[in-house]
Amino acid sequence: MKMKKLIALSLTITLGVFTLAGCGGKTSTDNTGDKSAETKGGASITVVSSYGADDGNRGNFEEAVKAYEANTGNTVKESASNANEEWKASVHADFEVGAEPDVLFFFNGVDSNPLIEANAVVSIEEIRAEYPDYASNMKEDMMGASPVDGKNYSVPVNGFWEAMFCNKTVLEKSGVTIPTDGYTWDQFLADCEKISAAGYTPIAVSFHEVPHYWFEYCVLNNGGLANHLNVPAALDDEAGKAWVNGLSDMKELYDKGYLPDNALSAGDAETFQLMAEDKAAFAVDGSWKCGWFAENADPANFVVTTPPTKELRKSTELIGGISMGYYITRKAWDDESKRDACVEFVKQMTSDEVVSKFSSSGNVTALKNGAIPDPNANELIKTVTEMNGKVTNVIGAVQDTISGEQKTDLFGNVKIVCDGSMTVEEAVTSMLGK
């Protein structure tokens, strides 16, 4: 009888321990399967980044981490995911419960505000008090200062640009010349008409999933640089007019039949595939798409150029910027055994060589000396370099200044506007009400 009681008690305790084990405050972000981290002798740091499996720079990131480990003898336990809303939420949740990583590669705009307000990350100024050469290879004004206090907290790797990819084969078969500087909206509409008449889809886009690339340029075309980052307070203010006119331009493209037939019911992957299959002529997307062309199509068949423009925007003005960087968390900074390892990690991951490698698709960098040119760049990247050489201004995306709820509402309604079930004014008003 005693034995049975003992067994019952042991089972209960075991179950209880297993149950509560998951409630521990320590996070395990290790996805490398390396359990020998603690026994190697060097420091072990945890790193969370957005260099997930789909990221074009995942290979470069892994290589740079391995190089850091080899150089320092430290070990990195890293966890990566794609930079979507869920990932942002999980990062914030980790900070809320005290399970933050030691180094974080994260956004430097409004998304980072809670981290700064909670004093959960260390400013570059504070780090430099002890490590004077920290981020000394970066241009101060391009590092992405926090909207909270204007201080720099993160060290950037590379930025992004958004521009128009053109399919040379489709343009040639449609009798359309490749767009160059000063390409106007009217010229663009005329070209779309020719392409459509030749039996091709003029624009590869999913207004169901990714209307924001066109939204940014249509708003910039109608509001100009000075107004671009202003969120409308009312429909009739300057920004409000730009948004209404911009959305009307997007609807015009849909109404004229320049988008894929299933633009309102297909995903981005499905519509963008039209570019690789020589079925569509134009697509507006970001610098990260260069890698996609290299893997899925012949990069030499594509050209990157600035999107069509209206009176208020010069064709050499692009959407782009540097929106992410490496943060050292307060928790790691206060831990003497990890401080050196974290500082060294960020220094190595943001060195001129590493940043240049990450920027091989012509991305913007904050390097004082500029990125080292890639001698093996493909034809597409050469056109990017050519385009970047002519750029006069780069401005951030206005969508980064509105809340997630507003963003979801606005972009979710683009397809409804195109379908005619909602007016452009109603879509903007709905967003303002969120």
Partner 1 sequence: MNSMIYKNKKPLLVFLIPAFTIMLIYLYYPFAMNIYNSFSDIKGLGRAATGLNSPWYSNYIELFSDQKMKIAVLNTLKLMLCTIVFQVGIALVLALLIDNIRIGKNFFRIAYFFPIIISATALGLLFNLIFLYDGGMLNNFLELFTRHEVLIDWKDKSRWMFTMFAPIMWQYIGFYFVVIITGLNNISSELYEAAAIDGASGFKCIRYIKLPLLHNVLCTCLILAITGSLKVFDLPWTMMPTGMPLDQSWLTGTYMYHVTFNASNVDYGSTIAIVIVLLGIVIAQIANIVFKEKDYC
Q: Which is nearer to partner 1, 262 or 393 (CB)?
A: 262
Minimum CB–partner distance for residue 419 and partner 1 (Å)? 6
Q: Which is nearer to partner 1, 16 or 59 (CB)?
A: 16
Minimum CB–partner distance for residue 175 and partner 1 (Å)? 23
With beta carbons less than 8 A apart as the criterion, state whether 200 and 403 touch.
no
Minimum CB–partner distance for residue 59 and partner 1 (Å)? 24
Minimum CB–partner distance for residue 260 and partner 1 (Å)? 8
> Would you give the distance in Å from CA 296 to the centre of its chain?
21
Minimum CB–partner distance for residue 370 and partner 1 (Å)? 37
Nearest to 199 by CA among 168, 175, 165, 164: 175
Tokens 């597409």 belong to: 380
Q: Which is nearer to partner 1, 275 or 290 (CB)?
A: 275
Tokens of 315: 């064709």
How are the residues of the chain apportioned to helix, strand and coil, as percentages rounded to the nearest 5?
50, 15, 40
How many CB atoms are closer than 10 A to CB 316?
16
Measuring CA to CA, how many Å separate 364 from each of 145, 285, 375, 385?
16, 15, 17, 10
Q: Which is nearer to partner 1, 12 or 393 (CB)?
A: 12
Q: Which is nearer to partner 1, 262 or 369 (CB)?
A: 262
Q: CB within 8 A of 122, min separation 6: which ones?
A: 153, 327, 328, 329, 330, 333
Minimum CB–partner distance for residue 373 and partner 1 (Å)? 38
Q: Which is nearer to partner 1, 209 or 379 (CB)?
A: 209
Q: Which is nearer to partner 1, 194 or 279 (CB)?
A: 279
Residue 145 parent element (H or E):
none
Q: Which is nearer to partner 1, 22 or 132 (CB)?
A: 22
Alpha-carbon distance 326 to 342, whole Å?
10
Interaction site with partner 1 (CB under 8 A): 1, 4-5, 8-9, 11-12, 15-16, 19, 23, 85-86, 88-96, 114, 208-209, 261-262, 264-267, 270, 273-274, 279, 403-405, 408-409, 412, 415-416, 419, 421
Paired strand residues for 320: 161
Q: Is 169 exposed, middle or buried (0-12, 13-18, 19+ CB in 10 A)?
A: middle
Minimum CB–partner distance for residue 409 and partner 1 (Å)? 7
Based on C-alpha coordinates, what's the Rg of the chain? 25
Minimum CB–partner distance for residue 356 and partner 1 (Å)? 34
Tokens 């920004």 belong to: 239
